[in-house]
């Protein structure tokens, strides 16, 4: 017998209860739970949510692109506006520059945006330029859900700030800086005035960049021509660094010395012992008058005090000088008359013979009524009181190359310490070599003087004389000697202090680049003789950025007849050693390029500006990478200084 079970019988009462609950489920739940053909209804139900999700992603992606481009344009705008900001004033021109850069970086209609705005502002008393930008972007799919547009806004901010910064100006102040140059707007300006204006513009840019910060900004100045004025800096640091620091110190100068000369002229007759005033020629027989001799013997008698009647000496031969204390007496003779007639005699008879005697007494001390004559030569002069005269509290010294009682004071320029008359120079890790030697003390940037060879000597403008023969002066002054304005050590300076300094710059002398760069290096070197100043604690935890700005309006020059930092090369021969291969100019060129490399090796960024002159390969080689400029007028000079100042400053986005 077969037994069949119903569902209720198989599962009992619990099965019936579950079925009742299933009947009570919502329709959608039942649909989802169903395993029968329901894919199409589910897909239809999910279209709208999926459309919203996908459309939102598309529109948000477009919005992100717009916001990114808007932010980039806003950043570019405030950076340009801040860079164009003049001093601490956000001018309309700077605002226009900001707008131009924004427009270049955000094209109209980008991603169909409209109502694009861009506004910038400078908060008073800060170095910041702030900006806001906005745009309205239409949506694509999200519009189906009521969101027709998206408003996109960004903010941006740029700030020009400095780290601690030291700037050393090495400025060409040679005579050509008194020439005029175009000002860039149809007029002209004297070069040195343009330089003054540009330095002040540079100062304003850095002062503005450091506004509101605790950055330390310092400046030093090295005006140069054929010399530099660093004497007072050296004297204040240590007088023993100078020849003249000790009482007994002397230095040799190409100069002149006075001689007080007394000259008497009389006549003598052969065979007599009397002296008398020389008569006119022709003249009659001198009474008491000696012995007649032939004309040949009269010639001999006239040129030789010890005449014996033969072996005549040239006319005018002097007796050996007689030295007595501070004076020297020299006697010389010359034939005067034979038979009363002047030389040019004829005849074979014997006649009365007269000679002229000249007695010359030269004294090294003043003699009343004597005539002063000058001996041009190298002289050893005492320097102790002369270097002390650089201080107004100490007296001036009597000028040893004059006899009028005039005095002189040391102006502060120097003669360089011992060098080597080398042909080749190189900057090495050990220092600058001259023909492979480190013995050129003048090219040693950092060494402290420890001997007479390594001390600097005072440049004594009043005593230099150039000579073209043994007895005459060729030139003095007028560019033959030149001492520019005083150099300064690194220090913080007010605007008025900088203005006063540049206003007092004078233009004089020739263009010796090696001189200016050498002393720019010494004043800026962290390892050098002024390192206590260079390395002074800035009072904040920031590092120090070091810069040197080398500006010249001409090419390197070289003169052998000028009294320069190396004396008078024609006579002293410190640079050439007397050789012309290579020339003095070429040797100085090689010196200056080696000095440039030494400066850069000290971590100093070297900027070069060629003002109204060619920017040569040597100049670009001298400069640090990307740090050379040319300026053909005063406007371009100002721009060059501005560009340097802005690159020294740190222009950065702060929002």
**Of residues 137 and 29, more confidently modeled:** 137
| Rounded-to-10 torsion of CA 524, 526, 528, 532 | 100
Q: Tens digits of per-residue pLDDT, 290-314?
A: 889 999 999 988 877 555 443 334 4
**Of residues 21 and 162, more confidently modeled:** 162
pLDDT of residue 408: 97
pLDDT of residue 312: 39
616, part of any domain: no
Nearest to 510 by CA among 479, 485, 464, 553: 479
**Of residues 163 and 182, more confidently modeled:** 182
Stretch 399-426: mean pLDDT, rounded? Answer: 96
Q: Does 223 lie in the same domain as 336?
A: no
373, part of any domain: no
Last residue of a domain, one of 139, 159, 179: 159
Q: Does 601 lie in the same domain as 522?
A: yes
8, part of any domain: no
Query: Does residue 4 surpass a pLDDT of 70?
Result: no
Last residue of a domain, one of 109, 135, 159: 159
pLDDT of residue 396: 98
| Rounded-to-10 torsion of CA 382, 385, 386, 392 | 180
Quote the CA–CA distance of 630 and 277 in Å, as a whole number: 75
H helices of 2-105, in order, are 7-11, 13-24, 27-33, 39-84, 92-105
371, part of any domain: no
Last residue of a domain, one of 159, 185, 207: 159
Is the bond into 282 cis (omega within 30 degrees of 0)?
Answer: yes
Question: Quick one: tokens of 222?
Answer: 């090295």
Task: Report the mean per-residue pLDDT for the chain.
Answer: 88
Q: Does 518 lie in the same domain as 450?
A: yes
Q: Does 506 lie in the same domain as 453?
A: yes
Cα of first residue to Cα of last residue in the chain, in angstroms, is: 93
Stretch 546-556: mean pLDDT, rounded? Answer: 97
Q: Does 295 lie in the same domain as 198?
A: no
Q: 485 exposed, middle or buried (CB, 10 Å; 0-12, 13-18, 19+)?
A: buried
- Structurally, how many domains does the chain consist of? 3
Q: Tens digits of per-residue pLDDT, 634-643?
A: 999 999 999 9
Phi first, then psi, for residue 646 (nearest 5°) are: -70, -35
528, part of any domain: yes
Helix pair 191-209, 634-648: axis angle to 10 deg: 20
Range from 144-148, 210-214, 631-635 carrying the lowest mean pLDDT: 144-148
Long-range contacts of 94-103 (CB under 8 A, 24+ apart): 94/129, 95/120, 98/129, 98/131, 101/73, 101/76, 101/77, 102/73, 102/74, 102/76, 102/77, 102/133, 103/73
pLDDT of residue 245: 98
Range from 144-153, 196-205, 232-241 carrying the lowest mean pLDDT: 144-153
604, part of any domain: yes
pLDDT of residue 54: 55
DSSP 585-650: HHHHHHHHHHHHHHHHHTT-EEEEEEESS---HHHHHHSPTT-EEEESSHHHHHHHHHHHHHHHSE
Quote the CA–CA distance of 302 and 634 in Å, as a whole number: 73
Query: Does residue 516 surpass a pLDDT of 90?
Result: yes
**Of residues 315 and 404, more confidently modeled:** 404
Q: Tens digits of per-residue pLDDT, 345-368?
A: 999 999 999 999 999 999 999 999
pLDDT band at 82 (very low <50, low <70, confident <90, very high): confident
Q: Does 339 lie in the same domain as 201?
A: no
pLDDT of residue 15: 47
Q: Does 174 lie in the same domain as 130?
A: no
Q: Does 510 lie in the same domain as 445?
A: yes
441, part of any domain: yes
Q: Tokens 């005029």 identify what position?
A: 180
Stretch 95-100: mean pLDDT, rounded? Answer: 94
**Of residues 477 and 138, more confidently modeled:** 138
Contact 588, 506 (CB under 8 A): no
Stretch 40-54: mean pLDDT, rounded? Answer: 53
Q: Which residues pair with 252 in a beta bridge?
A: 380
Question: 44 to each of 38, 48, 55, 234, 257, how far by Cα in Å?
Answer: 10, 8, 17, 94, 119
Quote the CA–CA distance of 476 and 571 in Å, as a whole number: 15
- Give the other-Cβ count within 10 Å of 397's Cβ: 21
pLDDT band at 323 (very low <50, low <70, confident <90, very high): confident
Radius of gyration of the chain (CA): 46
22, part of any domain: no
pLDDT of residue 327: 94
Q: Does 572 lie in the same domain as 492?
A: yes
Question: 572 to each of 402, 419, 562, how far by Cα in Å?
Answer: 22, 12, 11
Q: Tens digits of per-residue pLDDT, 427-440?
A: 999 999 999 999 99
CATH number at residue 216: 3.40.50.410
Write out the residue range of the structural domain in which residue 312 sits: 269-322+331-357
pLDDT of residue 289: 77
How far is C-alpha 463 from the geometric centre of its chain's CA atoms? Answer: 28
Q: Does 198 lie in the same domain as 106?
A: no
Nearest to 514 by CA among 558, 480, 455: 558
Q: Does 107 lie in the same domain as 222?
A: no
Q: Does 338 lie in the same domain as 313?
A: yes
pLDDT of residue 474: 43
pLDDT of residue 47: 52
pLDDT of residue 26: 60
Question: Quick one: tokens of 363?
Answer: 């004294």
Quote the CA–CA distance of 220 and 210 in Å, as a whole number: 18
Query: Does residue 552 surpass a pLDDT of 50?
Result: yes
pLDDT band at 287 (very low <50, low <70, confident <90, very high): confident
Q: Percent of the chain at pLDDT above 70?
A: 85
Query: Does residue 228 surpass a pLDDT of 60?
Result: yes
Q: Which residues pair with 480 in a beta bridge?
A: none
Stretch 48-66: mean pLDDT, rounded? Answer: 72
Long-range contacts of 448-455 (CB under 8 A, 24+ apart): 448/241, 448/529, 449/240, 449/241, 449/242, 449/417, 452/243, 452/249, 453/417, 453/418, 454/417, 454/418, 455/240, 455/241, 455/242, 455/243, 455/245, 455/417
Q: 517 exposed, middle or buried (CB, 10 Å; 0-12, 13-18, 19+)?
A: buried
**Of residues 435 and 320, more confidently modeled:** 435
């Amino acid at each position: 017998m077969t037994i069949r079970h119903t569902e209720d019988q198989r599962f009992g009462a619990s099965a019936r209860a579950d079925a009742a609950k299933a009947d009570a489920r919502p329709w959608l739940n039942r649909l989802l739970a169903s395993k029968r053909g329901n894919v199409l209804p589910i897909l239809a139900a999910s279209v709208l949510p999926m459309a919203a999700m996908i459309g939102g992603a598309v529109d948000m992606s477009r919005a992100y692109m717009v916001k990114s481009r808007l932010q980039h344009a806003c950043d570019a705008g405030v950076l340009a506006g801040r860079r164009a900001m003049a001093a601490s004033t956000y001018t309309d021109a700077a605002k226009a520059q900001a707008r131009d850069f924004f427009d270049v970086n955000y094209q109209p209609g980008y991603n169909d945006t409209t109502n694009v705005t861009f506004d910038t502002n400078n908060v008073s008393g800060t170095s910041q330029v702030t900006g806001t930008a906005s745009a309205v972007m239409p949506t694509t799919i999200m519009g189906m859900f009521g969101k027709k547009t998206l408003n996109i806004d960004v903010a941006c901010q740029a700030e020009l700030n400095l780290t601690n910064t030291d700037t050393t100006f090495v400025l060409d102040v040679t005579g050509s800086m008194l020439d005029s140059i175009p000002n860039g707007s149809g007029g002209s300006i004297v070069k040195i005035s343009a330089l003054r204006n540009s330095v002040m513009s540079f100062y304003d840019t850095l002062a503005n960049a450091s506004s509101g910060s605790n950055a330390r900004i310092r400046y030093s100045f090295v005006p140069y021509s054929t010399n530099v004025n660093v004497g007072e800096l050296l004297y204040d640091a240590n007088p023993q660094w100078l020849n003249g620091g000790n009482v007994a110190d002397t230095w040799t100068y190409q100069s002149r010395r006075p001689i007080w000369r007394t000259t008497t002229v009389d006549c003598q007759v052969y065979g007599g012992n009397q002296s008398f005033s020389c008569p006119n020629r022709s003249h009659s027989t001198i009474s008491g008058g000696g012995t007649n001799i032939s004309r040949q013997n009269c010639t001999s008698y006239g040129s030789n005090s010890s005449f014996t009647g033969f072996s005549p000496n040239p006319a005018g031969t002097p007796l050996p000088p007689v030295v007595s204390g501070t004076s020297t007496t020299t006697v010389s003779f010359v034939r005067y008359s034979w038979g009363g007639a002047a030389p040019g005699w004829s005849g074979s008879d014997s006649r009365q013979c007269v000679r002229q005697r000249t007695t010359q007494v030269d004294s090294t001390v003043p003699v009343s009524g004597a005539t002063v004559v000058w001996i041009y030569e190298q002289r050893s002069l005492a320097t102790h009181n002369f270097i002390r005269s650089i201080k107004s509290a100490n007296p001036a010294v009597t000028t040893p190359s004059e006899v009028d009682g005039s005095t002189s004071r040391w102006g502060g320029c120097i003669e360089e310490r011992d060098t080597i008359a080398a042909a080749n120079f190189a900057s090495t890790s050990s220092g600058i070599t001259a023909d492979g030697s480190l013995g050129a003390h003048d090219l040693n940037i950092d060494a402290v003087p420890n001997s007479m060879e390594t001390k600097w000597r005072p440049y004594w403008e009043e005593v230099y004389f150039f000579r073209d023969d043994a007895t005459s002066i060729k030139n003095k002054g007028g560019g033959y000697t030149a001492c520019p304005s005083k150099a300064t050590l690194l220090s913080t300076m007010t605007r008025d202090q900088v203005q006063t300094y540049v206003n007092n710059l004078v233009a004089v002398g020739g263009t010796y680049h090696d001189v200016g760069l050498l002393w720019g290096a010494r004043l800026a070197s962290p390892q050098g003789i002024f390192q206590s100043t260079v390395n002074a604690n800035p009072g904040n935890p920031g590092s120090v950025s070091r810069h040197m700005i080398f500006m010249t309006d001409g090419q390197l020059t070289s003169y052998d007849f000028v009294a320069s930092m190396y004396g008078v090369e024609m006579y002293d021969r410190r640079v050439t050693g007397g050789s012309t291969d290579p020339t003095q100019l070429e040797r100085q060129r090689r010196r200056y390029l080696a000095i440039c490399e030494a400066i850069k090796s000290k971590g100093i960024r070297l900027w070069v500006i060629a003002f109204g002159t060619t920017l040569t390969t040597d100049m670009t080689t001298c400069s640090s990478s990307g740090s050379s400029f040319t300026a053909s007028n005063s406007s371009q000079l100002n721009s060059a200084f501005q560009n340097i100042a802005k690159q020294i400053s740190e222009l950065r986005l702060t929002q």
